[in-house]
Structure 1
Amino acid sequence: MKLKRMFLATAAALGLATSAQAVELEVTHWWTSGGEAAAVAEFAKAFNENTDHTWVDGAIAGGGGTARPIMISRIIGGDPMGATQFNHGRQTEELIEAGLMLDLTDVAEAEGWADIVNPSSLLASCTVDGKVYCVPVNIHSWQWLWLSNQAFADAGLGVPSNWDEYVAAMPALQEAGKIPLALGGQAWQANGAFSVMAVALAGEENWLKVNSGKDASVAAGPAYTKVFEAAAAAREFSKDTNVIDWNLATAKVINGEAGGQIMGDWAQGEFAVAGKVAGEDYTCLPGLGVTEVISTGGDAFYFPKNDDPEIEAAQKELASLMMSKAVQVAFNLKKGSLPVRGDVDLAAANDCMKKGLEILAEGNILISGDQVLSADTTGQIDDLMTEFWSTDLSAADAQARYADIIASAD
């Protein structure tokens, strides 16, 4: 009740609208794994307990690749939900341009989001023509390698401290009956793993030239040749994963069936649900242990326009709650992500989250690919990486096709 009193008092002081009538607000998202479900439940709890409204959960299984087309189709087709998840970046450009998303600028300005969101690029990704259209809720970084301490102990090996040591251990892991590298079958996982390798092995500067600068000569050059050859070698040790969903691949690391997984920090939510302790049961290496960097991608919630003023008021109440200190802490501790607010207390963070916070504080951050590549370009790379990781497509041929995609990227 304390949070509700604080929220209502703040809303009144800032002149924010609060709905006069109770609203059932449908919220769509693709958070369906154990850790994800525990995290999104914190949003629902805060909304149900601190407003007069009801959160109607609209979870869509299958990840963002499955969910986004469904969400977009509903919005375009005139059947909008109350709120919906997208990633930070360019996924909603056309919806905003078509006038289908609610302008949240009044809430953002009243609450000073520009002063509290860190890094500022997250709010910039929500801003089009000076207007704010979404609330960023977390910082998720792809730049992590998760290692099973049990798997390495079973193989009689020490836990690696960097990518080269991990690669050197892969044959012994395989001989011990372990899957050296767990990689699920969804396209975004293949693309994500490659991108993390590119940052670590080609270097941040070259990654930026390719992804932000759309420099096809770098994509076709020796720095990326190294990445493609390393990925081709690593894929030989990932073929026995035999799962589709990312969280099932993470489960193999949790259970000691696999040595490691390249995956974003949302994997921490799965370790937490399983009762595993960072530094004891598993090890996390930012930047593959090669370069301590985190990317600042993540999730944001958009609010499709609705003709009902009561629904609009409830939408803005939810947006405000999602940015509040207490909800930011509760949600991100469960999600394994970092808060977008730079003024919250995360004393309860585990060792891996603390590593991320330290890197963020030092400013060793990298913009997310979602923020610089269009959905169309990302889709093309997803398709190529799916083929590359699942077939014997040569590193040279894959690199040539990748460079062609970058050459025409928007």
Structure 2
Amino acid sequence: MHRIRTALVATTILAAAGAASATDLEVTHWWTSGGEAAAVKAFADAFNAAGNNWVDGAIAGSGDTARATMISRITGGDPMGATQFNHGRQAEELVEAGLMRDLTDVAEAEGWIDLVHPKGLLDACTVDGKIYCVPVNIHSWQWIWLSNKAFEDAGVPVPSNWDEFVAAAPALEAAGKIPLAMGQQSWQTSGAFQVLMVALAGPEVFQKVYGDHDAEVAAGPDVARVFKAADDARKMSQKSNVQDWNQATNLVITGKAGGQIMGDWAQGEFQVAGQVAGEHYTCLPGLGINEVISTGGDAFYFPKLDDEELSAAQAKLASLMLSKQVQVDFNLKKGSLPVRGDVDLAAANDCMKKGLEILAKGNIISDTNQLMSPDSLGQINDLFVEFFNDNNITPEDAQERFAQIVAAAD
């Protein structure tokens, strides 16, 4: 009995020592919907299982709101342990100010340059030859999500492309459905416009406008066609009186709306609701016209911390986020594609498989966050909030203003 008691005491001491050595690391992000919360738990569980403690710093609201809070904390001397940004230039000034940790040592030790695909994702993390972030997924805007039930109720076939979707709008309205679900946040309306541009005008026009800042193309006939389609989208979404993107997704899930133009993160909401791709909902990459994947998504940056224990925890988290199993666990829940090309995604649903096939073909475009500064994109966002909320702004007037923003973009 004495030996058993001694063993129990020793076990208790070891457990206490292990708990005491666990490092708390605050991680800020804007993943607060049901599907997003399920996905971020995959990161937290892996980090905690490695002997540390994920302190969740979810910030409610849009990504723009969250980023403002994150940047304010970092520049104000109250940094978190790790923070989410999108692929691209959102953390550029923080890196240039010397406030973010250089992860090159971790990246080189684990061969990130050979693991991350497409390579441009790691390039977006690189400043002056040094790597400052961990890309964790590929999220593409280029999708429309359709409610099979809504079209069945309306007595029309599920569309196979954008033109068929527009043609079905009167039948949906007659059946009491909202043709197009759309939240009222600025990034949602401008994002829908970008999807329309790639689908209708093509990837080359998209690159000239957002990548090359070609104001002549932005003012030309190809983009005029896109603004006409945006006007159609505006009319079809008039009764979509919701704010958040996931509320709009829920209108599709419940059959109250015909469809939603939204990134593949919407898949997480369908999954949480128990819906099956191909049975309850249909997904059309590139609106069924131009099947491409934009290489947007999320990356994690690590502010510089003057604490060896916290720095070690940062390195561990960075490593885990790119590990094979965590990439699978996270992305299957998030609805996004992994940044590693060597992981097993046998459990992927029909829509994710479509995305993987497009990615494998190399049909990719850069995300707007990789092509324009946050300030320029903010001006475009503001324009589309006005356009979608004020029918007095004609497509021609909106296009003229758009071309002026593109001309001055950086």
Q: TM-score range by the shorter chain?
A: over 0.9
1:5-404 → structure 2 map (5 Å cutoff):
21-50=21-50, 52-392=51-391, 393-404=393-404
Distance 2:341 2:235 in 1: 42
Query: Percent identity at matched positions?
Result: 71
**Offset of residue 181 of structure 1:** 0.3
AA aligned to 2:405 is: I
Contact 2:87 2:121 in 1 (8 A): yes
Contact 1:228 1:395 in 2 (8 A): yes
Contact 2:183 2:244 in 1 (8 A): yes
| Count of residue pairs the alignment pairs up | 390
Contact 2:180 2:257 in 1 (8 A): yes
Contact 1:278 1:351 in 2 (8 A): yes
Contact 1:33 1:247 in 2 (8 A): yes
Distance 2:307 2:232 in 1: 56
Distance 1:230 1:105 in 2: 44
Contact 2:200 2:290 in 1 (8 A): no
**Offset of residue 108 of structure 1:** 0.4
- Residues 100-157 of structure 1: per-residue CA shift (max 9 Å, x gap): 0000000000100000100001000000000000000000000000000000000001
Give unmatched runs, 5+ long, in structure 2.
1-19
Contact 2:26 2:55 in 1 (8 A): yes
**Offset of residue 339 of structure 1:** 0.2
* Aligned match of 2:14: none
Distance 2:104 2:233 in 1: 46
Contact 1:21 1:310 in 2 (8 A): no
**Offset of residue 233 of structure 1:** 1.9
**Offset of residue 175 of structure 1:** 1.0
Distance 1:21 1:300 in 2: 27
**Offset of residue 22 of structure 1:** 2.6
- Residues 4-52 of structure 1: per-residue CA shift (max 9 Å, x gap): xxxxxxxxxxxxxxxx9431000000000000000000000000012x2
Contact 1:147 1:261 in 2 (8 A): yes
* Aligned match of 1:15: none
Q: Give the secondary structure class of the aligned counterpart of 2:337.
A: coil
Distance 2:153 2:222 in 1: 35
Pairwise CA RMSD: 0.8
- Residues 203-254 of structure 1: per-residue CA shift (max 9 Å, x gap): 1111100011100000000000000011112211101110000000000000
**Runs (4+) off by over 2 Å:** none
AA aligned to 1:200 is: A
Contact 2:134 2:321 in 1 (8 A): yes
AA aligned to 1:260 is: G
AA aligned to 1:40 is: V
Contact 1:228 1:399 in 2 (8 A): yes
Distance 1:192 1:99 in 2: 31
Contact 1:148 1:253 in 2 (8 A): yes
**Offset of residue 277 of structure 1:** 0.2
Give unmatched runs, 5+ long, in structure 1.
1-19
- Residues 172-217 of structure 1: per-residue CA shift (max 9 Å, x gap): 1011100000000100000100000010111111110001110000
Q: Give the secondary structure class of the aligned counterpart of 1:135.
A: strand
Distance 1:38 1:168 in 2: 36
**Offset of residue 390 of structure 1:** 1.1
Q: Give the secondary structure class of the aligned counterpart of 1:236.
A: helix
- Please give the TM-score of this superposition, normalised by the length of structure 1: 0.94
Contact 1:31 1:63 in 2 (8 A): no
AA aligned to 1:386 is: V
Distance 1:22 1:308 in 2: 14
